[in-house]
Amino acid sequence: MAAHSLLFPRARWWALAWLAVYLPSYSIAYGARNFLFLCNLGVLLTAIAIVAGSRLLLSSQAVAAPSIGIAWALDLGWRLVTGAHLFGGTEYMWDPQYPLLTRLLSLYHVVWPILVVALVRRVGYDRRGWACQAAVAAIALVVCRLFTPAVENINYAFVDPLFHRAFEPPLLHLALVVATLAGVAYALTHAILCASIRRVRGISSALSGRSDCRARRPVAPGTKRA
């Protein structure tokens, strides 16, 4: 049986429908470079994970989505309450040059973390997700540094969001941003996921040949399993 039909027999159609609306809307309004943002890249990878039935890819986005979603929601909420942005990143939500429907699609930042964690709770968390997402972030930052304008500062590849500094040399700046993401934001989410989510019995058995992430203990003859 194909992995995707085993994991997400219905959700994959919703994922494809989302991509059919999201990709052209964002491409027309914001341009192709916008998909390099870790949030947009993440929601794309989540949709691919659902369609392909990839537990590793889904786990990697479960590591990233909560911190991204919280940061986005905080900045948006701060703007609504105070009229100013907390640290920036949601200014486009008030920019009338972009279609309202396209801006409203960005509310996925609120739904995405809930969805991806719920799906991982269903299929189990792959501990390699942390390393996978760290690699995704590192590659995205290098690409942004090399091929995007500094003024756009995509993924803070040029200026950090806390001290508003451009550290030199560029490799140091990129290393600091990746270290902060992987060593703080992703590490915290990874620890929470490891502590709270175990593989689901039955699904993990079909995927890995084991009923769950716990090692089997030898059973004495005549002893019944619980």
Is the pLDDT at 222 greater than 70? The verdict is no
Distance (Å, whole) CA 142 – CA 130: 19
**Closest of 73, 65, 177, 179 to residue 129, by C-alpha:** 65
Classify 200 as helix, strand or coil: coil
Task: Look up the pTM and report it.
Answer: 0.82
Is the pLDDT at 31 greater than 70? The verdict is yes
- Taking CB atoms within 8 Å and a gap of at least 24, the contacts of 158-162 are 161/87, 161/88, 162/87
Q: Is 24 exposed, middle or buried (0-12, 13-18, 19+ CB in 10 A)?
A: exposed
Q: Quick one: pLDDT band at residue 6, thresholds 50, 70, 90? A: low
pLDDT for res 209: 39
Better-scored residue on pLDDT, 4 or 191: 191
Give the tens place of pLDDT for each residue, 161-211.
888 889 999 999 999 999 999 999 999 999 999 998 765 444 443 444 333
CB contact at 8 A, 123 and 200: yes
Residue 107: Cβ within 10 Å count: 13
pLDDT for res 89: 85
- 97: tokens are 């040059």
Average pLDDT for residues 93-114, to the nearest whole number?
A: 95
Classify 40 as helix, strand or coil: helix
Taking the mean position of all CA atoms in its chain, how far away is CA 61?
Answer: 3
Q: Quick one: pLDDT band at residue 216, thresholds 50, 70, 90? A: very low
Distance (Å, whole) CA 105 – CA 60: 22
Residue 161 has φ and ψ, to the nearest 5°, of -80, -15
